[in-house]
A = this chain, B = another copy of it.
């Protein structure tokens, strides 16, 4: 029995990660975390206060938009820039089980740290939309509307893809379906923006 709080906390958070990726946030209970991490429950309470606190800690650095930096993308052409954002978002969501579980969880949970997340996301969104407006000459409402349509549908379809293979005859659980969707998105943006 070595005594190392940092290590123990890491073990607990790692266990949360595994549970989330595999079964989602809904499955993160004290017993589950204790069992998965091999740490006794009482330590979880001591170090994180509650499951709420544990999840808040876990959520730090997990969201896509929060860690999004405009500077990471090519600045030249606005159309390319916009396209690239959506592509990156899709890639992230399709490759990260934890992110998909997070987006799913948000739809049914009123966890306090989710509000934080949303507010900070709104700030990022505002910045990006403003950026695109400035360079494209489109109205804010137009850009916001299109962005909303695209990101919301992408979020929905990525979540759904975990349980369901086909939506409107599109193969949403495979690359084939997503290429068709990307084609549609590109087409739509070409026409609308």
Which residues 149-178 of A have a CB within 8 angstroms of B? 149-157, 159-160, 163-164, 166-170
Q: Which of the listed residues A125, A152, A191 has the most CB atoms from chain B within 10 Å of its own CB?
A: A152
For residue A104, CB closer than 8 A to chain B, the reply is yes
Categorize the interface residue count of chain A.
35 or more
Asked if A142 is an interface residue, CB under 8 A from chain B, the answer is yes
Tell me if B163 and A108 are in contact (CB < 8 A).
Answer: yes
A79 to chain B: closest CB distance in Å?
Answer: 15
Contact status of A153 and B149, CB under 8 A, knowing A125-B169, A188-B188: yes
- Choose among B108, B154, B170 the residue that contacts A145 (Cβ–Cβ < 8 A): B170
Cross-chain pairs A/B with CB under 8 angstroms, 12 sampled: A104-B108, A110-B163, A141-B184, A142-B187, A148-B153, A149-B185, A149-B188, A150-B153, A152-B153, A152-B154, A152-B167, A191-B191
